[in-house]
Amino acid sequence: MKNIYNKLVRDKIPKICEEDGEVPRYYVLSQSRFRQELKRKAVEEAKELLAADKSQLKNEIADIYEVLLNLAKTFGIRWSEIEKFRQEKNKKRGSFEKKYFLVSSKK
């Protein structure tokens, strides 16, 4: 049976496929394609997080975190810069601690 994935996978996945008796077909992405696929992977992982139950949350959050770390690295952004932006945004716009759900707004 042939499984079609057409997606970015973690580094050890081809080896794991081989160990499972499969013959993986894969190639190494260019830097620009890698950046594009990391963004797609972030969306994929966010969808998985949305569908996750409580027992799966740690796993899905870890996946998203790994993708975000790699996105920052591939774009040459230090994680400390992201943390600085996060803190500045919290000062200006707040966090999510109050659990507000905005229904509408008008002038």
Q: What is the pLDDT of residues 56-106, one digit of tens each?
A: 999 999 999 999 999 999 999 999 999 999 999 999 999 999 999 999 999
Q: What percent of the chain has pLDDT over 90?
A: 97
Cβ contact 66:38 at 8 Å: no
What does the domain layout of the chain look like in residue ranges? 13-79
Tokens at 28, concatenated:
């190494």
pLDDT of residue 1: 78
Distant-in-sequence, close-in-space partners of 16: CB < 8 Å, separation ≥ 6: none
56: left (phi over 0), alpha (psi -120 to 50) or beta: alpha
What does the alpha-carbon distance between residue 3 and residue 25 come to, in Å, rounded to a whole number? Answer: 10
What does the alpha-carbon distance between residue 72 and residue 35 come to, in Å, rounded to a whole number? Answer: 10
Q: How confident is the model at residue 2 (pLDDT cuts 50, 70, 90)?
A: confident
61: left (phi over 0), alpha (psi -120 to 50) or beta: alpha
Whether residue 44 has pLDDT greater than 90:
yes
